[in-house]
Every structure is written in structure tokens, then in C-alpha cells.
Amino acid sequence: MNAENSGKPGKSRESVPGERVPSGQVGGHPLQLASAVMFVSELDRSVAFYREFLGWDVTVHNESVALLVSTDGYQLYLRTRGTRAQHPLGQIGLQYLIWTARDEEDLDRCEQILRKFSTQVTRQTIDGFTLVEGQGPDRVPVMVTYPGPDKAPRHEIVQRIYGW
């Protein structure tokens, strides 16, 4: 795709005969993930962790939910479920999110934050990118990579996806 039909607002995108249009494209614009909702056991503890880890602003915070927003408008809702709530890995539904660092320095920063909350932090290079994994406040896996899939396309499925 060239710059003239990059899918940016205001630019029309005409299909070319025989061109493969990615699934999820509506009106020439691909769907993008905008928000995620995460249930947590202790809201304030999770807000503190994710605010530091992501560097996002808290725009709403009450006794049961908080909303963190990136400078690009992406959103993470944190909803308290209490200390008895469970998140069994391997069950149906979203298991974890994989974040992408801005650069190597940001990846190192994320690793240090994970080490403050988790004794089980790993770092490995796979298929041209580095993956750092630890656990967040509720012992839910937290992963961050650099570079992202836009700069280092994934050609393999990381072993972590197959098992835990």
C-alpha cells in the first residue's frame, strides 16, 4: 500500500482488481483495538502498577473502576472484582495482552517495573524481537516486546502461547 491510499482519514482507498483486502477492513479502514477491560482484585494497586508500566493517564477513578488512557487514545479499564476473584489460565476468554515498548530503553524500564512486582521475570530474543515477561499485581502474565510486529513481523508462535 502506498502513501496515497494508506487508510488515513480523509484519503480514499480504492480496491485494485486481484488485490487482497485484509479482513476486518470496513470502508478502507482496518479495525483497531481501542480498549481493553481487565478485572483486578485490588483497584488502587493495579492502577498504580499499570499507570507506571504503561505511562498512561488515569482519567476516571472511583471505588470500583478506573480508566487509563494513552496519548494515542487507547484505553485500559480496570474493574475491581475483589480479592476472592480468580483468573484461571487456560480458560475461555482473553488470557493476557502483549505490549510493545517504544525502544530498547523503554523495554528495560518495563522490565525493571515488572521486577518490582514479580520474582519470575524472563527476557528472551525470539524471531528478531525481545520478549520480557513477568506478572502484574494479580499474578496475571504481563508481556512486553521490542520491536513490535510492525518492525519485526512474527514468523513463529512464541512457546508461551502454547503453554503456561
Same domain, 104 and 161: yes
pTM over 0.85: no
Same domain, 70 and 106: no
C-alpha distances out from residue 131 to 26, 104, 156, Å: 32, 11, 13
Mean pLDDT across the chain: 82
User: Which three cell numbers mark 55?
Assistant: 505511562
Position 1 in a domain: no
Q: Please give the backbone phi and psi of residue 91, each rounded to the nearest 5 degrees, phi first.
A: -90, 170
User: Into how many domains does the chain fold?
Assistant: 2
Which pLDDT belongs to residue 26? 57
- Amino acid type, 69: V
Position 2 in a domain: no
Alpha helices in 27-162 (DSSP H): 43-54, 104-117, 159-162
C-alpha distances out from residue 69 to 14, 56, 61, 89, Å: 33, 5, 12, 26
How far is residue 98's CA from residue 141's CA, in Å, rounded to a whole number? 9
Sequence length of the chain is: 164
Same domain, 75 and 101: no
Instruction: Give residue 149's region: left, alpha or beta (phi > 0; psi -120 to 50).
Output: alpha
pLDDT, tens digit (0-9, with 9 covering 90-100), for 53-100 = 999 999 999 999 999 999 999 999 999 987 776 666 666 667 788 999
Task: Look up residue 152 and give its DSSP letter.
Answer: S
